[in-house]
Structure formats: structure tokens, C-alpha cells
Amino acid sequence: MKYLYIIFCFLPFLGLPQSGISISGSSQFYNSQTLILGNNNAFYTSPITARNNQMTLSVFRGKKYKIGTLAIKGSLSYNVNIINYSDESEFTNHEIINRNIIPALELWYIFVEKQSTFIYSSIGTYGTLEELNLFINESKQNEFQYNSIVPFIRLGMQVNYGKLYINPFLSFDLEDIRFENWNELVEADLNNALKNYTIRSGIEFGIMF
């Protein structure tokens, strides 16, 4: 039900001009390794294969003032990560399906703006609403919830090539605030989250329509 609340929050953005709406997605397959705790309490590596699928809807709306442009950016991503253990592992026929809904809301201040490029600073937060399902031979299922939000401050630059945009940024992220119930966010320890910050870099790209 909480996912419906988030979707309803984004419905008013759909009435904005089409130039402020973008959609992007990805699907990729990869091979990797992970650590497994064996029956003898020792760790060993296990090959895995995985498929990650993601679809993101973003809305951007701004207004220009004498001091610069203020804008609001919202996005909603749906991410599915499917992991299968190799036949070489004791966990053969185990499949982990990790489903995430990732909402984000960001307030931008654009202080340098040219025809196709602008530099901005922003403050905002993104969340992870997750259900992790573990299937064993398709006969048994365990499920638990993991929810968190991450407040952040960013400095970035967006470059537009027609309808394509590229947005590299540097982000000052507070420690993630984990919760099971929404009312736990009111009691979150923001001072501790601020002390355990992380500086991350990232890049976003998509198509405006």
C-alpha cells in the first residue's frame, strides 16, 4: 500500500509540460562472484550470474529568477535484480530476486546557465523500498523488508544534446536512515547520519520527451 502513496505523490507532476518529463531504462547481464558462509563457518567464493533491469520516470520543473533558476526534480525507479548461483556452488537452484522501488525528490539551484549546459547545486533525498525474496528449488520462500532513505547535497552539471541529456554530479550523502515503519523516520538520529557521511560521484542520462 505504501507504494501506492508514492505513486499518487507523483501524479500531479504528470500535468506539467512534456519538456519536463523523461523516461530511461536499462537491462544488463553479468557474471561475478560472491562470498558464502559454509557449514564449517568458513567463507568461500561462489560464482553467480545476474540480470539487472531498471526503469525510471523523471519529472523536472523550474522557474527562472534574477538570482538564478530554482527547480524541482522528482523521479521514481523500479529495479529488479535476479541472482542465480552457479552449478559449482552448494546453493545450486537458489535464486535471489531483489525488487526495489526508489523514489527521489530534489530541489535545484541553477547558478550558471548557457544554451545547452548548466551548473547546479541541490539538496534532496532518495529512498529504497525493498522486498527480497529467496526461492529454494521453487518450493520455499522467505521474505523480509528493507527500507531506507538517504539525504544528500549535490553539485552537478547537465549537458543537453537535443532530447538527450547527460548529468554528472558529486554527492555529499548522509548515512542511510533505515526503518521498518514510516513513523520511525520522525525519531531518526540525523546527527549520527551527518557524522557518517559519504562523498560519491555519479552520472545520469536519459531522453526528454
List the one residue out of 204, 95, 76 whose CA is nearest residue 140: 95
pLDDT at 153: 95
pLDDT at 157: 95
Q: How far apart are CA 110 and CA 113, in angstroms?
A: 7
Which residue range forms the structural domain that includes residue 184? 2-208
pLDDT at 129: 83
Q: Into how many domains does the chain fold? A: 1
User: Taking 60 as the threshold, does the pLDDT of residue 192 lie above it?
Assistant: yes
User: Does the model's pTM come out above 0.75?
Assistant: no
Helix (H) or strand (E) holding 6: helix 2-10
Give the three cell numbers for residue 204: 545520469
The pLDDT confidence band at residue 118, using thresholds 50, 70 and 90, is: very high
Measured in degrees and rounded to the nearest 5, phi and psi for residue 100 equal: -125, 140
| Residue 48: count of CB within 10 angstroms of its CB | 19
The answer to whether the beta carbons of residues 79 and 50 sit under 8 Å apart is: no
Helix (H) or strand (E) holding 83: strand 68-85
Cα 38 → chain centroid: 32
The answer to whether the beta carbons of residues 165 and 132 sit under 8 Å apart is: no
User: Taking 50 as the threshold, does the pLDDT of residue 6 lie above it?
Assistant: no
Decide which of 192 and 56 is more confident: 56
Give the three cell numbers for residue 16: 506539467
User: Taking 50 as the threshold, does the pLDDT of residue 8 lie above it?
Assistant: no
Pairing of strands 43-65, 177-179: unpaired
The pLDDT confidence band at residue 144, using thresholds 50, 70 and 90, is: low
Q: Which residues touch 181 (CB under 8 Å, ≥6 apart)? A: none
Q: How far apart are CA 27 and CA 166, in angstroms?
A: 19
The answer to whether the beta carbons of residues 133 and 165 sit under 8 Å apart is: no
Query: What is the percent of the chain with per-residue pLDDT over 70, rounded to a whole number?
Result: 77
Q: Which residue has the cell 563457518?
A: 41
Q: How far apart are CA 130 and CA 145, in angstroms?
A: 6
